[in-house]
Structure 1
Amino acid sequence: MLKYAVSLSVIMAAVWLLLSGQLTHAILVPLGIVSVALTVYLAYRMRILDREGHPIHLLLPILTYLPWLLIEVVKANLIVAGHIIRGSKSLSPRFCRLEATQKTDLGRVFLANSITLTPGTVTVYVRAQEVWFYALTEELEQGVLSGEMDRRVTRLEGES
Structure 2
Amino acid sequence: MHIAKWTVLLAIFWLLLSGIIEPLMLFFGVASVIIVLIALVRMDAVDKEPKAIGTGIPFLRYIPWLIGQITLSSLEVTKMVWGAPEKVSPTLATLDASDVPEDCRALYANSITLTPGTLSVDLEDGDVTVHALRQTSIDELKEGHMKNKIIRIWGSNS
TM-score > 0.5, shorter chain as reference: yes
Residues 97 and 133 in structure 1, CA contact (< 8 A), matched pair in contact too: yes
Change (3 A) 1:17 1:74: closer
Q: Does 1:46 align with 2:43?
A: yes
Change (3 A) 1:76 1:21: same
Q: Does 1:131 align with 2:128?
A: yes
Q: Does 1:157 align with 2:126?
A: no
CA RMSD of aligned residues (A): 3.2
Residues 109 and 128 in structure 2, CA contact (< 8 A), matched pair in contact too: yes
Q: Which structure's CA Rg is the greater one?
A: 1
In 1, distance between residues paired with 2:25 and 2:87?
57
Deviation of 1:133 after TM superposition, in Å, equals 0.4
| SS of alignment partner, residue 108 of structure 2 | helix
Matched residue type, 1:82: K
Residues 16 and 32 in structure 1, CA contact (< 8 A), matched pair in contact too: yes
Deviation of 1:15 after TM superposition, in Å, equals 4.9
Residues 29-88 of structure 1: CA deviation (Å, up to 9, x unaligned): 89876765564344222326712xxx3244542222122222222222333333334422
Matched residue type, 2:62: Y
Change (3 A) 1:81 1:45: closer
Which structure 1 segments of 5+ residues have no match? none
In 2, distance between residues paired with 1:75 and 1:28?
38
Which structure 1 residue ranges, 4+ long, deviate > 6 Å from structure 2?
27-35
Deviation of 1:89 after TM superposition, in Å, equals 1.8
Residues 108 and 150 in structure 2, CA contact (< 8 A), matched pair in contact too: yes
Which structure 2 segments of 5+ residues have no match? none
Identity value in percent:
28
Task: Give TM-score, length-normalised by structure 1.
Answer: 0.71
Residues 101 and 155 in structure 2, CA contact (< 8 A), matched pair in contact too: no
In 1, distance between residues paired with 2:82 and 2:33?
50
| SS of alignment partner, residue 56 of structure 1 | coil
Matched residue type, 1:50: P
Corresponding residue of 2:140: 143
Aligned residue among 51, 72, 76 for 1:75: 72
